[in-house]
Amino acid sequence: MNAPKGWYEGVSMPRFGICIGCEVKIPYVSARNTEKELESRSRSHRSSTYSVRSWSRQLCALCRSSISYIEQIGCPHCGRAVRCTDCERHPLFVHGLTANRSAVAYSEAMKAWLHRYKFQGDTGYAAIMAGMMLQRYELLAATISNFHHQITVPPLPLYERLRRWLYQLPSVPYPDVVTFVPSTVERLIDRGFNPAERLATLLATAWNCPVMPLLTRMTDQGRQSHLGRSGRELALSGAYCCHTQALQTLCVNINTSNKSPLYILLVDDVYTTGSTVRACAGALTGALRNYGISSIICSYTWARA
Q: What is the dihedral of CA 175, 176, 177, 178, to 10 degrees?
A: 10
8 A C-beta contact, residue 132 and residue 182: no
- Of 46, 77, 101, 217, the residue at the interface with Zn ion (CB under 5 A) is 77
| Residue 304 CB neighbours (<10 A) | 24
- 29, 73, 78, 267: which one contacts Zn ion (CB under 5 A)? 78
Q: How far is residue 266's CA from residue 91's CA, in Å, rounded to a whole number?
A: 17
| C-alpha–C-alpha distance, residues 33 and 47, integer Å | 9
Residue 99, phi-psi category: left (phi > 0), alpha (psi -120 to 50), beta (remainder): beta
Nearer to Zn ion, 50 or 174 (CB): 50
Residue 270, interface with Zn ion (CB under 5 A)? no
- On whether the CB atoms of residues 47 and 38 are closer than 8 A, the answer is no
Q: Is 21 in the site for Zn ion (CB under 5 A)?
A: yes
List the beta strands (DSSP E) in 73-176: 97-105
- Please report how close the Cβ of residue 6 comes to Zn ion at its closest, in angstroms: 32
Q: What are phi and psi of 158, to 5 degrees?
A: -60, -45
**Closest separation in Å from C-beta 229 to Zn ion:** 12
Please tell me whether residue 5 adopts helix, strand or coil conformation: coil
Q: Give me Rg for the CA atoms of the chain.
A: 21
DSSP-derived letter for residue 103 is E
Using the minimum distance from each CB to Zn ion, give the nearer residue, 52 or 60. 60
Interface with Zn ion, residue 144, by CB under 5 A = no
63 forms part of the interface with Zn ion (CB under 5 A): yes
The reply on whether position 75 binds Zn ion by CB under 5 A is yes
**For Zn ion, which stretch binds (CB under 5 A), given 83-91, 112-120, 147-155, 233-241?**
83-91
Please tell me whether residue 92 binds Zn ion under the rule CB under 5 A.
no
User: Which listed residue (18, 19, 134, 141) binds Zn ion by CB under 5 A?
Assistant: 19
**What is the DSSP track for 161-222?**
HHHHHHHT----PPPSEEEEPPPPHHHHHHHSS-HHHHHHHHHHHHHT--B---EEE-----
Of residues 63 and 277, the one with the C-beta less far from Zn ion: 63
- Minimum separation from the CB atom of position 24 to Zn ion (A): 5
* 42 to 61: interface string for Zn ion, x by CB under 5 A: ------------------x-
How far is Cα 23 from Cα 87, in angstroms, rounded to an integer? 39
**Binder of Zn ion out of 18, 67, 70, 87 (CB under 5 A):** 87
Q: Of the two residues 65 and 208, which places its CB atom closer to Zn ion in the complex?
A: 65
| Closest CB to Zn ion among residues 63, 283 | 63
84 near Zn ion, rule: CB under 5 A: yes
Q: Minimal distance in Å, beta carbon 18 to Zn ion?
A: 9
Q: Of 271 and 302, which CB lies nearer to Zn ion in the complex structure?
A: 271
By the criterion CB under 5 A, which residues form the site for Zn ion? 19, 21-22, 60, 63, 75, 77-78, 84, 87
